[in-house]
Structure 1
Amino acid sequence: MVVLPSRIPEDQAALEWHIEASEQERSGDPALMLAKATVVLFWPAFMLFGLVAAQLQE
């Protein structure tokens, strides 16, 4: 039986961070949910503002 060496510590840390982040996402971290909601709600407003500003400059 061949035993492979354990993963590089940096890879392991990155993997653990990714798992932790996805667990937070599933559990509904309030700050993360707020950030997503802010982006979703305000993105159309920024786009619309950009269009209006472009129309006014013409």
Structure 2
Amino acid sequence: MSHRHPTDGPRRATGAALQRHRAALTPDPVPLVAVSRSGTDCAGLDAAYGSAELLAAWRS
């Protein structure tokens, strides 16, 4: 049997799933932000940052 580590391989999350997780933490209107090394095409985000944006911010 093969065991996968939680950080192995690509992850797909829907905006609705992320909103449910956020709602479980707080009822406040906290912005929904995604950070991904491989990019994201998730709808319903307030912001999304990929590796290029993170490196550019770190270098400035």
**TM-score, length-scaled by structure 1:** 0.23
- CA radius of gyration, larger in: 1
Please identify which structure carries the higher helix content: 1
**TM-score, length-scaled by structure 2:** 0.22
Please identify which structure carries the higher strand content: 2
